């Protein structure tokens, strides 16, 4: 059966606080764990009033401590914001506390703007050393070598699984070269999805962590009893993207009856392009569209985002996705690596 996982940014809905958002995150994690979801990932973003997962490793520990079996991890840590040593210590500690349950997805974008990057005390050019930093981090999480002077404690020999995340060919090439699993951020940046998957699978080199390519693909899924209800819930995300184009970031808006009265034609065109990998509707509608998407991409796993204003509606959507999961058929993939 197709593995399905959750990407949660701990969105802060309008009318609520970051504390509410983090409690909603935990409730969602516990809910999807009972439904058999594969993993629950959180992402690093800074200086955004609508996202409460900036201290990503802390939130991962919070979720892992109150769940029992679901894998918990980062989707991802923006490595240019940190020294590999610090991340090795953080995730080595998490892996020591929650053995066999921690994932570490790595991105090279800063996850913020240039002013916030300076506030993080990071060099704007630090992304240029991303491949070397990944290798350094991998070594710090691996077995201690003879004569090794610097060790991550905890961290050494925890062998936390690394993932390369991205939305361009750079990440695909790096993941293939290092023999690591690859996650594509098609839930908001789908333009290079098919080309990146092709590059990753064609150039993949086996490694001690992974013997063959494994691609996880990000999607937005909004399920409800009817197409109309699901489209209504989806307007929160559509408003968020329109606001982003206006330079007005804020908390997650409540849904509205008519999105066409909210955005301009240009905002609509931009949002629809960025949200092309979104599956919104009733169970029958989403099943049909997801199966077509799986046939096109050959995704080994889906990473599902669902930024709904109402936490109860979000849990209901993930419940419905679990119910249709047996009808999702990854074996129909046209491009899946053997």
8 A C-beta contact, residue 75 and residue 171: no
pLDDT at 2: 95
pLDDT at 109: 80
Q: What is the pTM of this model?
A: 0.94
Which residues share a beta bridge with 72?
40, 102
pLDDT at 333: 47
Which residues share a beta bridge with 222?
280
pLDDT mean by block of 10 residues, the chain; 338 residues: 96 98 98 98 93 97 98 95 96 98 92 73 78 97 94 97 96 98 97 97 97 98 98 98 93 98 97 98 98 96 98 98 93 48
Q: Rounded CA gap, 135 and 288, in Å?
A: 41
Superfamily for the 4-225+277-332 domain: Luciferase-like domain (3.20.20.30)
pLDDT at 330: 73
3-state secondary structure of 57: helix
| Burial tier of 164 (Cβ tally within 10 Å: 0-12, 13-18, 19+) | buried
Q: Between the CA of residue 81 and those of 68, 110, 118, 274, what are the distances in Å? A: 30, 6, 10, 25
pLDDT at 93: 98
Helix ranges (DSSP H) in the chain:
18-34, 56-65, 84-97, 114-119, 130-141, 169-178, 193-203, 227-245, 265-274, 283-297, 311-324
Q: Domains of the chain: which residue ranges?
A: 4-225+277-332
225 phi and psi, to 5 degrees? -65, -30
Q: Rounded CA gap, 211 and 332, in Å?
A: 22
pLDDT at 337: 45
**Which residues have a Cβ under 8 Å from the Cβ of 33 and sit 6 or more positions away?**
40, 67, 68, 69, 70
pLDDT at 115: 78
pLDDT at 112: 64
């Amino acid at each position: 059966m197709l593995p399905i996982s959750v990407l949660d940014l701990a969105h802060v809905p309008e009318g609520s606080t970051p504390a509410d958002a983090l409690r909603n995150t935990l409730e969602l994690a516990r809910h999807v764990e009972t439904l058999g979801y594969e993993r629950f990932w959180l992402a690093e973003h800074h200086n955004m009033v609508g996202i409460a997962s900036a201290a990503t490793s802390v939130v991962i520990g919070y979720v892992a401590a109150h769940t029992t079996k679901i894998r918990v991890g980062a989707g991802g840590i923006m490595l240019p914001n940190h020294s590999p040593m610090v991340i090795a210590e953080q995730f080595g500690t998490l892996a020591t506390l929650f053995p066999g349950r921690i994932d570490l997805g790595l991105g090279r974008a800063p996850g913020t703007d240039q002013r916030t990057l300076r506030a993080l005390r990071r060099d704007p050019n630090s992304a240029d050393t991303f491949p070397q930093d990944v290798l350094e981090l991998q070594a710090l999480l691996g077995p201690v070598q003879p004569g090794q002077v610097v060790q991550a404690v905890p961290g050494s020999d925890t062998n936390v699984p690394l993932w390369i995340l991205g939305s361009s060919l750079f990440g695909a090439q790096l993941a293939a070269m290092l023999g690591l699993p690859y996650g594509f951020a098609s839930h908001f940046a789908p333009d290079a999805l098919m080309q990146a998957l092709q590059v990753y699978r064609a150039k993949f080199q086996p490694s001690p962590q992974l013997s063959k390519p494994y691609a996880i693909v990000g999607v937005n899924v909004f399920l409800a009893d009817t197409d109309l209800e699901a489209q209504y819930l989806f307007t929160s995300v559509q408003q968020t993207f329109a606001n982003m184009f206006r330079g007005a970031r804020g908390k997650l808006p409540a849904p509205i009856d008519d999105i066409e009265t909210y955005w301009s034609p240009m905002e609509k065109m931009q949002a629809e392009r960025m949200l092309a990998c979104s599956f919104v509707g009733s169970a029958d509608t989403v099943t049909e569209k997801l199966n077509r998407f799986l046939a096109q991409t050959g995704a080994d796993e889906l990473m599902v985002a669902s930024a709904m204003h109402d936490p109860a509606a979000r849990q209901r959507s993930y419940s419905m996705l679990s119910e249709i999961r047996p009808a999702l058929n990854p074996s129909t993939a046209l491009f899946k690596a053997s």
